[in-house]
Chains A and B, each alone.
Chain A
């Protein structure tokens, strides 16, 4: 046991400072108000202070920080996307991830595991070759590998998948990693707080004051704040916030579920994804298997989970790993995924001056947390979209110029 822990046992007061300051009251004005205290919102506050010297910032969170999709994802970090816009964007994010523990002085348990996207059909192999070539062109480490290579890295796998979906090969992405998701919210929150931003939990946004096309203020459950700049980073709540400012969007909400098993001895090093079997799986540092599948099949704005999901996912998982049949599922949960038609996010400026959107993060938002903070803070500080997000603006749906990223979604949604 580390000696440090003894201090917690013997001292009357909690011997460590809180991660961030509690503020009794909201101020009447902030330079920037960020709606949503998840990873994206807190990262935006962090980089506004760190890169742009903007510290008069309030982060408003309806619940508690990191309690939404930041704490509900399966923590996979990768950049093996399909479109040039996506690959460049997520690659920058992976670069930022590598230094984050140092930046925060907080251990994110960032673990580089390697990421396999399994292909069970010729057409899937074709998509893997396509993704590998796009990735390599932009300097991202991805290659197509054969089934034997998969077997060497995951020896417990049944390559035939019980005979009905034999694995032909995979897209192998060596930088694929996992990290501890709560720490990401805490690290960004603490860093933003140290630089002067205020984090207000239990503070719900009830309305946004827009006058002649410009943001003037935000009405919250704890009073009115005047501000000229608002960042909306609320994932599954995005349509409700957009209704307040009367912006139409293609975003629709489906639940995405996940589950973990009881902790077992370490046997699975890489992260495995199968689009055909609708499975993704990795083993956490505590030994739990972290598993997810595809979206729920119809629109629901709640976070209830279902037995159908556990049954379906378990059945597919047993095709890949028959020896897991006696392993127990420990818990399951759901998050509200804000989906877009082209599976790319919606970011940057909007028709309303001073209202910036960081949304459409559907099932792919956690890995983008650092780069979203970087690019959104730049966009707000300069009132001009960061070059990395110009392919993700809302007006692409007016111009029919989509950024088709569906082929890089982890499982066939």
Chain B
């Protein structure tokens, strides 16, 4: 069983969690070009690496950030989001 550590509830089976994907800054829809907006909507960074992702512990609806090595499938760090993403 794979384990994910929720910053509030501690280590739990990964089946209790949902991955919302890599954190990506959103361009301003009022000022960006159509191409920039399409790239934001569809394009992803599919190459392996250490990525910061949104995760949710669904049982408690706790949203937090996990830093994960997507090639080794190892979770390096998890913490609650603070501040603003830009």
Contact = CB atoms under 8 A, between A and B. Distances in A.
Interface of A: 238-240, 242-243, 248-253, 297-302, 304, 306-308, 338, 341, 397-400
A214 to B, nearest CB: 22
A302 B73 contact: yes
A308 B15 contact: yes
Contact of B73 (A243, A250, A300): A300
Interface string B35-70: 100110011111110010100000000000000001
Contacts of A299: 19, 21, 46, 51, 70
Contact of B47 (A240, A298, A308): A240
Interface of B: 1-2, 14-15, 18-19, 21, 35, 38-39, 42-48, 51, 53, 70-73
Given A297-B19, A299-B19, A301-B70, A306 B42 contact: no
5 nearest interchain CB pairs?
A: A239-B46, A298-B19, A301-B48, A250-B42, A397-B42
Nearest to A236: B46
B44 A250 contact: yes
A184 B13 CA distance: 40
A243 B47 contact: yes
Contacts of A298: 19, 53
18 contacts: A238-B46, A239-B45, A242-B46, A248-B39, A248-B43, A249-B43, A249-B44, A252-B44, A252-B46, A253-B48, A298-B19, A298-B53, A299-B51, A299-B70, A301-B47, A302-B73, A307-B1, A398-B39
Contacts of A251: 44, 46
A249 B35 contact: no
A249 B38 CA distance: 11
B42 to A, nearest CB: 4
Contacts of A399: 38
B38 A253 contact: no
Nearest to B66: A298
B38 A398 contact: yes
A312 B19 CA distance: 19
A253 B70 CA distance: 10
Contacts of A297: 18-19
Nearest to A301: B48
A374 to B, nearest CB: 27
A307 B15 CA distance: 12
